[in-house]
Amino acid sequence: MLAKTGLLIVSNPKHINKLLSNVKETVKHTLYIQLLTALNEPLGSFYSHMFNTPPKLSRTIFGIYSQATRHCNNLDVRVLLTGVKSNVPQIGTRNPIDVVIFDRKYSKADIDNFMKCKLTNVSKQHRVLTVDCENVEDPEVQDDSADDQVYKHACLGGTFDRLHAAHKVLLSYAILHASEKVTVGITEENMVHSKLLWELIQDVDTRIANVEQFVMDVCPEISYNICKISDPFGPAVVDPTMDVIVVSVETVRGGEKINEIRKQKSLAELVIVPIPFIDEPDPQAREETKVSSSNQRLRLLGTLLNPLEKKNIPNKPYVIGLTGGIASGKSGVTSHLKNMGVPIIDCDKIGHQVYQKNAACYQEVISQFGKEILNSDGEIDRRVLGNLVFEKPAELTKLTDIVWPAIKDEVQRIIRKSEARVVCVEAAILTKAGWDAFCHEVWTTFVPEKEAIERLKTRNNLTEEQAKSRMAAQPSNKENIQQANVVFCPLWEVEYTKMQVEKAWDLLQIRLSGL
Ligand SMILES: CC(=O)SCCNC(=O)CCNC(=O)[C@H](O)C(C)(C)COP(=O)(O)OP(=O)(O)OC[C@H]1O[C@@H](n2cnc3c(N)ncnc32)[C@H](O)[C@@H]1OP(=O)(O)O
């Protein structure tokens, strides 16, 4: 049975390759890794060589996270730095340990003693395993050189969206280079708008909480200042106590810029420690070749982003409510679903039908908006009506108050008589109308607002102002995403949208099979 949380006790990091490929069969959620300092060191003298030389671990830690990315990317791997900063030789992880795995054989007495004296948070039902790694060496985990130094106060900054291996390396390097304090600047929302799929970036408080939880888990012995930053420099250009800044190789220039400003302010320059990228082992279409948050966000497209709510509605047909901003590519998604055999209930179309001549809402719409909205054959001219309502929210509400009940009745009638296993209700403002109440899942499309404006200008011949006012009549991307279970970004080629829809469809089949 897979354990939720494991602890790997590593006597020789050069075994890590084999160890990690083994543990992924044992642990399913969090894997803590504790390094012993040297091969053949008895368990009892745990940590004894580590004090005063912590940065020497940096490259080992980089190697471990790189290998973890390759071998067990689904696990939350955390290399413990406990004991590196003080000689409190105990491991008190945040999550209780369900399985302890040793990379070599020890006597029962040594193991019993270790379990009793060194581990403070072990679950009652824990297991102890040994993966024998004699004669296995992974050349990619390098020996550490001895030229690193420890300073009092290290700093670093970034977005830290969906904490991944490269973030963990940056944070670990900062911890290893600081004897007293690490400051982490985390970008506020104003700083993330140029990033790919920024709409999917976690809110700043969640990102702060994740970083805090990680650093406190791997090394509670030093102090942390985790703060929001709304410019690229944050406290690094004003704090005289900072000594060293940890950056990725891509952001060395940012570190240099900070030093230029510090110099102007007569503050001591920071030592810049650049960290190489971790390679993405299996980059997919559109992904970067390094481990990155934008890769993670791309991978979220088509997956269950927000959990499903239990609703008291019939299980058949299973109703997907598809929504999304104006010109955000809803029809691209519905055409892929249609090809997969899913009936689409198009609410725009039903909306048009309900006020056709002699239909249920025809007279009421005319009484509300006047005969000026009629064309020569007595039909309501939607272009005229659209111009009246899209510019003025109160007018739009008057229209929707008239037509939504009729559209809803028709949608529910079609659902009731459907024989299909899955149907899709396509509605621009599904959640604002409260129609998510009769959908099992809400799926949404979004494209960057700039892109939607361009599409409206070219596709619908609207001016920039008109495009903006139409967008203002709808929930924002952020609102739609927050309320959706699955999201799509039809920003690129048709095939890429199709791939997202197929992924969503395959995952939906798994959910349906569990009903
Ligand atoms: C709950 C729902 O989502 S029901 C479906 C939406 N329909 C309604 O709300 C009914 C009221 N709307 C209408 O009668 C018509 O849309 C009109 C008269 C305002 C404009 O008609 P047309 O010029 O033919 O435009 P059309 O109906 O194709 O809508 C244009 C865009 O505005 C969106 N839209 C339609 N109604 C609304 C609305 N009430 N609020 C915001 N956006 C809307 C459409 O979904 C469409 O988006 P898309 O370009 O991404 O597909």
Query: Which ligand 1 atom minimizes the distance to the CA of 428?
Result: 3
| 144 conformational bin, left if phi > 0, alpha if psi -120 to 50, beta if neither | beta
Q: In the structure encoding, which two tokens stand for residue 397, read together? A: 């509400």
pLDDT of residue 145: 43
Average pLDDT over residues 235-255: 96
Task: Assess whether 189 and 108 both reside in one domain.
Answer: no
For 184-212, the pLDDT digits (tens) are 999 999 999 999 999 999 999 999 999 99
Q: Which domain holds residue 327?
A: 301-343+418-513
In the predicted structure, residue 337 carries a pLDDT above the cut 90: yes
Q: Which residues contact 314 (CB under 8 A, 6 or more apart)?
A: none
Strands 318-324 and 344-346: unpaired
Whether the CA torsion 221, 84, 134, 281 is positive or negative: it is: positive
Distance 427 CA to ligand 1 centre (A): 9
User: In this structure, what DSSP letter does residue 36 have?
Assistant: -
Query: Residues in the chain, how many?
Result: 515
Query: Which ligand 1 atom minimizes the distance to the CA of 427?
Result: 3
Task: Assess whether 359 and 464 both reside in one domain.
Answer: no
In the predicted structure, residue 135 carries a pLDDT above the cut 80: no
pLDDT of residue 13: 81
Distance 461 CA to ligand 1 centre (A): 16
Domain count, the chain: 4
Task: Assess whether 17 and 41 both reside in one domain.
Answer: yes
Query: Which ligand 1 atom minimizes the distance to the CA of 435?
Result: 1
Mutation test residue for ligand 1: of 334, 348, 352, the one with most atoms within 8 Å of CB: 348
Determine, yes or no, domain membership for 139: no
> 338 CB less than 6 Å from ligand 1?
no
CA distance 121 to 308: 33
Determine, yes or no, domain membership for 138: no
Task: Assess whether 210 and 355 both reside in one domain.
Answer: no
Task: Assess whether 308 and 325 both reside in one domain.
Answer: yes
Task: Assess whether 332 and 376 both reside in one domain.
Answer: no
CA distance 65 to 55: 16
Query: Which ligand 1 atom minimizes the distance to the CA of 389?
Result: 19
In this predicted structure, which of 86-90, 234-238, 349-353 has the lowest mean pLDDT?
A: 86-90
Q: In the structure encoding, which two tokens stand for residue 418, read together? A: 């459907």
Higher pLDDT, 13 or 437: 437
pLDDT of residue 56: 66
Average pLDDT over residues 331-344: 97
> 61 CB less than 6 Å from ligand 1?
no
CB atoms within 10 A of CB 254: 18
Separation in Å, CA 178 to CA 80, 183, 223: 15, 10, 10
Closest CA to 166 of 79, 27, 292: 292
Strands 271-275 and 223-229: unpaired
For 84-132, the pLDDT digits (tens) are 776 656 788 999 999 999 988 888 988 888 888 888 899 999 999 998 7
> 508 CB less than 6 Å from ligand 1?
no
Task: Assess whether 212 and 267 both reside in one domain.
Answer: yes
pLDDT of residue 91: 83
CA distance 297 to 295: 5
For 360-404, the pLDDT digits (tens) are 999 999 999 999 999 999 999 999 999 999 888 999 999 999 999
Respond yes or no on whether the N-terminal peptide bond of residue 448 is cis (omega within 30° of 0).
no
Distance 278 CA to ligand 1 centre (A): 46
In the predicted structure, residue 43 carries a pLDDT above the cut 80: no
Task: Assess whether 338 and 362 both reside in one domain.
Answer: no
Taking each helix axis from N to C terminus, what angle separates 382-390 and 464-472, rounded to the nearest 10 degrees? 70
3-state secondary structure at position 137: coil
Average pLDDT over residues 15-39: 84
> 474 CB less than 6 Å from ligand 1?
yes
Determine, yes or no, domain membership for 66: yes
Task: Assess whether 165 and 118 both reside in one domain.
Answer: no
Task: Assess whether 371 and 460 both reside in one domain.
Answer: no
CA distance 40 to 61: 20
CA distance 328 to 127: 51
CA distance 85 to 65: 20
Average pLDDT over residues 15-24: 86
pLDDT of residue 87: 63
Distance 379 CA to ligand 1 centre (A): 17
> 471 CB less than 6 Å from ligand 1?
no
Determine, yes or no, domain membership for 65: yes
Q: Which residues contact 62 (CB under 8 A, 6 or more apart)?
A: 169, 173, 275, 276, 278
Determine, yes or no, domain membership for 135: no
Beta bridge partners of 111: none
pLDDT of residue 54: 53
Strands 151-158 and 244-248: parallel
Q: Which residues contact 167 (CB under 8 A, 6 or more apart)?
A: 158, 160, 211, 214
CA distance 47 to 87: 8
In the predicted structure, residue 15 carries a pLDDT above the cut 90: no
For 445-484, the pLDDT digits (tens) are 999 999 999 999 999 999 999 999 889 888 999 999 999 9
Average pLDDT over residues 10-31: 88
Q: Where residue 17 falls among pLDDT bands split at 50, 70, 90?
A: confident
Determine, yes or no, domain membership for 284: no
Determine, yes or no, domain membership for 86: yes
In the predicted structure, residue 338 carries a pLDDT above the cut 80: yes
Task: Assess whether 323 and 455 both reside in one domain.
Answer: yes
pLDDT of residue 114: 84
Query: Which ligand 1 atom minimizes the distance to the CA of 456?
Result: 49
CATH code of residue 243: 3.40.50.620
Q: What amino acid occupies position 20?
A: L
Q: In the structure encoding, which two tokens stand for residue 330, read together? A: 């809803």
Strand order in the sheet with 97-102: 76-79, 27-35, 3-10, 97-102, 122-130
Q: Where residue 137 falls among pLDDT bands split at 50, 70, 90?
A: low
pLDDT of residue 513: 95
Whether the CA torsion 348, 354, 356, 362 is positive or negative: it is: negative
Task: Assess whether 58 and 199 both reside in one domain.
Answer: no
Q: Whose CA is nearest to atom 17 of ligand 1?
A: 386
Domain finish residue from 230, 257, 275: 275
Whether the CA torsion 300, 321, 426, 375 is positive or negative: it is: negative
Q: DSSP states of 236-252 as a string?
A: GGT-TT--EEEEEGGGH
Say whether the ipTM exceeds 0.90. Answer: yes
Q: Which residues contact 459 (CB under 8 A, 6 or more apart)?
A: 327
Q: Whose CA is nearest to atom 10 of ligand 1?
A: 351
> 248 CB less than 6 Å from ligand 1?
no
Distance 69 CA to ligand 1 centre (A): 46
Q: pTM, whole model, 2 decimals?
A: 0.91
Distance 428 CA to ligand 1 centre (A): 7
Determine, yes or no, domain membership for 202: yes
CATH code of residue 102: 3.40.50
Residues above pLDDT 90, as percent of the chain = 77
Distance 184 CA to ligand 1 centre (A): 45
State the DSSP H helix or E strand holding residue 364, giving kind and residue range, or none if neither.
Answer: helix 362-369
In the predicted structure, residue 69 carries a pLDDT above the cut 50: yes
3-state secondary structure at position 257: helix
CA distance 1 to 487: 33
In the predicted structure, residue 39 carries a pLDDT above the cut 50: no
CA angle (220 as vertex; 149, 177 as ends), nearest 5: 10
In the predicted structure, residue 14 carries a pLDDT above the cut 90: no
